[in-house]
Amino acid sequence: MTVPAGEAASVRPGAAEWRRPSWRLERVPAGGGVELTALLRDLVEDPAHRRAFAERLANHDSEVWVALPADSDSASRSQPGCTRTSSGAVGLLLAETACARLQILLLAVSARVRGMGVGRALVREAILWAIDADLDAVELEVRESNDRAQALYESLGFVAAALRPRYYPDGDQAVLMAVSLVDLPV
C-alpha cells in the first residue's frame, strides 16, 4: 500500500520528537506500594540474584529509582489498598545508605533500550539525591570484565578505589568504584 506523502508526514515524528527522551525517572517508595517483580524478571536473569534483590527491594531502608516510559502512569502514585505496578519500566537502580555513603547495589536497563542514556540518567539521579541528602560519596562494585558499566561510571566521575578478588560466586573479581561528594565545586 502506498501512503500519500502528506499522510506519512503527519504520522512520522519530527526531529524534536526523536530527540525527546521517551522515559522519565521516578524515585519509588521501597518496601511498599510498588510491585517490581515483573521488572526484576525482565532485568535480572539469575533466579537466585532475583530473589536476593527482591528481598532488598522490600527493605524499607532501600532507595529505589525506576525509569518509565514517559507516557506511563506514575509508579509511586498509590491508592489505599491498591498496589501500583511498575510494569513497563525500562530501568532500575537500587541503593542503600550506610556510613554517609550511598551504595548502589543494582543498576540494570532493559536490553531493548540499552545505549540510549537510561543507565546514565539513573546514576546521575542517584548522585543528585545523595548530594541533597548531604552524603559523602556514592560507591558500587562492578565486575572487572564489565567495561560498558565501568565506562558509564567513569563518565560520571567515579574512580576505581580498590579491587575485590573473587567477589562473585563464579570467582570473578570486582572493582570498587566511588565518586566523592565532599568539597564539590558550587
Q: Of 29 and 117, which CB lies nearer to ligand COA in the complex structure?
A: 117
Q: Of 84 and 124, which CB lies nearer to ligand COA in the complex structure?
A: 124
For residues 96, 102, 107, 113, the Cα torsion angle rounded to the nearest 10 degrees is 120
Helices (H), the chain: 5-11, 15-19, 37-43, 47-58, 118-132, 147-155
Burial of 136: CB neighbours in 10 Å, binned 0-12, 13-18, 19+:
middle
Q: Of 12 and 168, which CB lies nearer to ligand COA in the complex structure?
A: 168
Residues that bind ligand COA (CB under 6 A): 107-109, 114-120, 140, 142, 146, 148-149, 151-152, 155
Shortest distance in whole angstroms from residue 30 CB to ligand COA: 19
Residue nearest to ligand COA (CB): 119
Q: Of 73 and 147, which CB lies nearer to ligand COA in the complex structure?
A: 147
Q: Which three cell numbers stand for residue 33?
A: 506500594
Shortest distance in whole angstroms from residue 106 CB to ligand COA: 7
